[in-house]
Amino acid sequence: MAKIRVDVSSSRPLFIEADPDAFGAVFAGMADDDQVAVLRAMVEAMRPHRMQWDHISIALESPENRDIRDQLRQVLFPPAEVE
């Protein structure tokens, strides 16, 4: 599994920062099973914070984020083929 580099500058508290580009690059380099595991972990970690999904939905509706919303919708929920 790909890893995010962490520099530890103190013994406590430990904060890990990864900018979106670094996280995206690591995520893109993972195998599909690992990518699903990361998505599952993100959903599980957010379980106690259900209102955050509302905040994400609202953010994805803003004009500057609609492109990613539409891409995610097309990839994750492709239109059903009508026969």
Q: Give Cα separations from 36 to 5, 18, 55, 64, 69 (angstroms).
A: 21, 19, 22, 26, 19
pLDDT of residue 81: 77
Question: pTM (2 decimals)?
Answer: 0.65
- Per-domain residue ranges of the chain: 16-48, 50-83
pLDDT of residue 71: 94
The predicted-structure confidence for 5-61, as pLDDT tens digits, reads as follows 666 666 666 666 778 888 888 889 999 999 999 899 889 988 999 899 999 999 999
Residue whose token pair is 């979106």: 20
Q: Residue 1 above 60 pLDDT?
A: no
52-72 mean pLDDT: 94
